[in-house]
Amino acid sequence: MESIGRKIKEVLKKRGITVYRVAKDLGIAEESLRRSLADGANPEWKRIQQVLRYLDYEVVLRPRRKEVKPKK
């Protein structure tokens, strides 16, 4: 599973928005935001919500799809 930080960074890149811009607009330290979005990070949910709101995104929970294993 990809990290939520990686997905957020993909959205930023597609939109041409820098982490610096997001941090500045949200009034948070750029380095703090970069650490929150890093692979393997365990960011606070509050921070993720701030960024998702900024990007006009929401999190939707759905059941995992079962992996189809090839027959041998």
CATH class of 4-55: mainly alpha
Query: How much is the pLDDT for 64?
Result: 81
Q: What is the pLDDT of residues 7-16, one digit of tens each?
A: 999 999 999 9
Q: How far is CA 47 from the centre of its chain?
A: 10
Higher pLDDT, 69 or 39: 39
Q: Is 17 exposed, middle or buried (0-12, 13-18, 19+ CB in 10 A)?
A: middle
Query: How much is the pLDDT for 18?
Result: 97
- Beta carbons of 9 and 43 less than 8 angstroms apart: no
